[in-house]
Structure 1
Amino acid sequence: MARLPKFNLLVWVVIAIALGIALGSFLPEVVVRLFITFNGLFGNFLGFIIPLLIVGLITPAIDELGKGAGKWLAVTAGIAYTSSVIAGLLSWGTSMIAWPRLLTGNDVSELADPESGLVTPFFTVDMPPMFQVMTALVFAFVVGIALTRFDAPALHQVFADFREVINIVISKVIVPLLPLYIFGIFMNMTFAGQIWQVIQAFFWVVLIVFLLTVAYIVIQYAVAGAITKKNPFRLIRAMLPAYATALGTSSSAATIPVTLRSAIKAGVSENVASFVIPLGATIHLAGSTIKITGFALAIMVMFGMEIPPAAIFGFILLLGIAMVAAPGVPGGAIVTAAALLETQLGFSPEQVGLMIATYIAIDSIGTAANVTGDGAIAVIVDKLAGHPGHRDLGLHLPEELEPEPDPA
């Protein structure tokens, strides 16, 4: 496949989403199945490569951060958890004001199972990862921090070279094929009628939650801008390609290459971006927390359930922790949160199924907020770490991952 012009990535993503929605309404099933077969293969490949990507990017990044890497790991994790909890509290407060006025009396019991109507691929090829995401994170932390403590030139070079291998896979395979993958996702969901069914039943929830995620992005960058003395809206503009890509993929992990390039364009140094962005894709899910909290409370209002404040507060605190273990793949956050919905909020299996259906159908709203927020955290950590601009570090990304030129 010909390489997509790097300055047109945002345009390609928008076109892919629009074409997927437009063509999914009338294309024959055999054509849809062809694209879904590709999506299955590409999605399985992403599942295989994501743990390697985390090791390949985070390990040398921690090494290059030096002996203070352990401290910056704790700082980044603390900022990410605090952000997710604040996002949940914001969603809780807004929901308690809006949902009782807008949703009481709505019947949502007949919504389909989240998998119903979706077209299946012609065939699948299993590509099990060599190890799981959390294993990759722990391995990257342990080895990266250990490398900062002793002189092992050969081992340093091994992980530096492995990062180049991962960069080649990102720039030559993942980034060029992302628009086609996004097209297939939206075409399949439109063909099944799933998007419109959920939006019709949860119109106000979708609208208000979307506005909440946008507002929270602005809040995050207002804080980042205040700390770094940078214009928050210029920072947000630099992250727009990552936001648009996440809207299409519904996967924080699949969006890492674009998020990484966008963060560097926003002025984050390469080693800090390579450390914070893959880590944030796994542990910072503020947008997902907004969505899960808002949709859970909406369902509780629709079913006339009791909403005890202590239970909701505890749910949000635990949700922030659970999101650390959520895989950065489409629907990963809600699958991880399903147990909390049952144990903390008393959801029945049917209500959990409804929650999954509504969440997955518009999963991309939360994911886009997640990855965009990762950029704000990277900007803050870069400032706290006192690192210079990325072009002063002597590091070089592949051409496809270099930040796009700023027209301003």
Structure 2
Amino acid sequence: MFSALTKLSLVSRIMIAIILGGLVAYFFPNVAPYVSFLGDLFIKALKSVAPILVFVLVMASIANFRVGEGARDLKPILGLYAIGMLLAALSAVIASIVFPSTLFLSINPEMQLQPPGSVSEVLRNLFLSFITNPVTALHEANFIGILAWAAGLGVALRHGSDTTKKVITDLSDAVSSIIRIVISLAPLGIFGLVIATFAEAGLDTLENYAHLIVVLVATMLFVALVINPLLVALVMRKNPYPLVFKCLKESGITAFFTRSSAANIPINLDLAKRLGVSETTASVSIPLGATINMAGAAVTITVLTLAAVNTLHIDVDLITMLVLSVVAVITACGASGVAGGSLLLIPIACGLFGISSDIAMQVVAIGMVISVLQDSTETALNSSTDVLFTAAVDLSRK
């Protein structure tokens, strides 16, 4: 049985863990104290690897970033990537305001939450976090400081030797391997979390999860079927939906099941070729988009962060939400290539509101529970948008 389970996909194992956890919590509620530690271990593991993952991954990505001679031709495509992600994040903000979500979080009564009182305080905390000592930032899981130091070192190391860049890349790959191991153990952690949550909060938790999934998926569909077509129509000056539906059908569906933008690159390159897109442009913009064009990740980070904010009864004004949208876009560009990679960047956005790493990692764990649909839909949006925007810009020139 164990051998058969290991051969199943991560999604299948997570679904089994959720079902088994719910059944155990319903029929054997007294078991909860004995297996809930599995969820605690999983959250602890996420908390331990996330800071170093963000630091190394962002630093390596910037240090090894190369656009090539066709950078001028890529500018409109990169512009669409940036605008698309920002509009996706803003759509998530609006969806979270109209359909607010709440989470079931385990909060220590002695923990003193210090939410920001105004947007000026948010910006003040943001800038102060930027200049934190890097060792202190890693130790305290200050993700804003980690992101700032990773970006700064990445820019500086762009002028380093090829050997140095190779070492950084190998280190990034090594840390990514560790996080893959942690995520592969997600079914055990989710099993413990589901039992503990259902035993304490009852089946009302299912309603919260269902509401959260609906908000996430509906927002991503809105981006795919409304926001993206509007941007493409502005570029091509004609009906965008034939191209939009073709990209969703041939790229989005495949990405939905593979759950990997990187694995979907060959599919997108082949589709771009059949659409008549310049091979020179597509060979750069599509792999680049698989790395930095993460509209779905921006939606996920924004919705889950605002769900945590709503749960903790933190008052947020409109300007602060706009700041959150920008932060979500920037962090989404650094989303890890592993399944659920965008979830590990949620603590960066939570840091804007003074939410501790302990609580932020609980939000990440909840994201893992709903990742059966969230991650697949997110990847479908991300990957199909890569080829959609590339084709829109290149075909409009012709």
* Counterparts of 2:103 and 2:96, CA distance in 1: 18
- The answer on whether the counterparts of 2:343 and 2:364 sit within 8 Å (CA) in structure 1 is yes
Looking at secondary structure, tell me which structure has more helix per residue: 2
Q: How far is the alpha carbon of 1:193 from its aligned partner? A: 9.5
Go from structure 1 to structure 2 and tell me whether the alpha carbon gap of 1:298 and 1:192 turns closer, same or farther (over 3 Å shift).
Answer: same
Letter of the 2:266 counterpart: P
The one-letter code matched in structure 1 to 2:213 is: V
Q: 1:298 to 1:271 in 2, by over 3 A?
A: same
1:77 & 1:281 partners in 2: Cα distance?
12
- How far apart are residue 205 of structure 1 and its match? 1.9
Cα distance in 1 for partners of 2:72, 2:87 equals 22
> Cα offset for 1:324?
2.4
The structure-2 alpha-carbon separation of the partners of 1:337 and 1:260, relative to structure 1 and needing over 3 Å to count, comes to farther
1:372 is matched with 384
* Shift in CA distance, 232/293, structure 1 to aligned 2, threshold 3 Å: same
Q: CA deviation at 1:302?
A: 2.2
Q: Do 1:199 and 1:206's aligned partners in 2 also have CA atoms closer than 8 Å?
A: no
Contact 2:235/2:393 (8 A) holds in 1: no
What does residue 311 of structure 1 align with? 320
**1:334-369: CA deviations, max 9, x gaps?**
323422322x12222232112212333232222211
- What secondary structure, in the 3-state scheme, does the structure 2 residue paired with 1:371 have? helix
CA distances 1:183-239 after superposition (whole Å, capped 9, x unpaired): xx9x969x9598998865321121122111111112213431453255433223322
> 288, 291, 303: which is aligned to 1:282?
291
- Structure 2 letter corresponding to 1:32: L
Matched, 1:354 2:359: no
2:224 to 193, 217, 230: 217
Q: Give the letter aligned to residue 70 of structure 1.
A: A
Match of 1:204 among 190, 202, 211: 211
Compared CA separation, residues 258 and 339, structure 1 to 2 (3 A): same
- Tell me the equivalent position of 2:261: 252
Instruction: Report the residue type matching 2:91 in the other structure.
Output: L
SS of match in other structure, 2:337: coil
Q: What is the rounded CA distance, in whole Å, between the counterparts of 1:248 and 1:352 in structure 2?
A: 28
Q: Which residue matches 2:375?
A: 363
Structure 2 partner of 1:125: none
- 2: distance between equivalents of 1:217 and 1:266? 19
Q: Is the 1:323–1:336 Cα contact (8 Å) retained in structure 2?
A: yes
Paired residues, number: 270
Displacement of 1:88 in angstroms is 0.8
What is aligned with 2:120?
A: none
Superposition map of 1:230-245 within 5 A: 231-239=239-247, 240-245=249-254
**Greater CA deviation, 79-88 or 256-265?**
256-265
**Retained in 2: the 8 A contact 1:91–1:294?**
yes
Conserved in 2, the CA contact under 8 Å of 1:259 and 1:375? yes
- Give 1:96 deviation, angstroms: 0.8
1:159-198 to 2 correspondence within 5 Å?
Answer: none
Q: What is residue 121 of structure 1 aligned with on the other side?
A: none
Partner of 2:2 in structure 1? Answer: 29
Secondary structure at 1:213's aligned position in 2?
helix
- Paired with 1:77 and 1:217, the residues of 2 have a C-alpha distance of 18
**One-letter code of the match for 1:366?**
E
- Superposed CA deviations along residues 305-355 of structure 1, whole A, max 9, x for unmatched, are 22233332212112222222333332222323422322x122222321122
Question: How far apart are the structure 1 equivalents of 2:103 and 2:348?
Answer: 24
Identity of aligned residues (%): 23
Alignment of 1:6-405 (within 5 A): 28-35=1-8, 69-99=70-100, 103=101, 108-109=104-105, 200-218=207-225, 219-229=227-237, 231-239=239-247, 240-342=249-351, 344-360=352-368, 361=371, 362-383=374-395, 386-387=397-398
**Cα deviation digits, residues 154-198 of structure 1 (max 9, x gap):** xxxxxxxxxxxxxxxxxxxxxxxxxxxxxxx9x969x95989988
Cα pair 2:85 2:295 within 8 Å, conserved: yes
Distance in 2, Cα, partners of 1:214 & 1:265: 25
Relative distance call for 1:377 and 1:243 in structure 2 (3 A) is: same
CA shift in 2, pair 1:36/1:217, >3 Å:
closer
> Given residue 220 of structure 1, which amino acid in structure 2 is its aligned partner?
N
- Residue in 1 aligned with 2:21? none
Shift in alpha-carbon separation, 1:32–1:302, aligned structure 2, 3 A: same
Give, in whole Å, the separation in 2 of the partners of 1:286 and 1:238.
19
Contact 1:268 1:379 in 2 (8 A): yes
Cα 1:221–1:95 shift into 2, 3 Å: same
Cα 1:227/1:296, change in 2 over 3 Å = same
The letter for the 1-side match of 2:313 is G
The answer to whether the 8 A contact 2:103-2:307 is kept is no
Provide structure 2 residue ranges, at least 5 long, that are not aligned to the other structure: 13-60, 108-150, 160-183, 199-204
How far apart are the structure 2 equivalents of 1:193 and 1:255? Answer: 33
SS in 2 for 1:325: coil
Q: Residue 297 of structure 2 contacts residue 378 of structure 2 at CA under 8 Å; is this kept in 1? A: yes
- Distance change (3 Å), C-alpha of 1:370 and 1:199: farther
Q: Distance in 2 between matches of 1:192 and 1:229?
A: 50
Distance 1:355 1:109, change over 3 A: closer
| TM superposition shift of 1:267 | 3.9
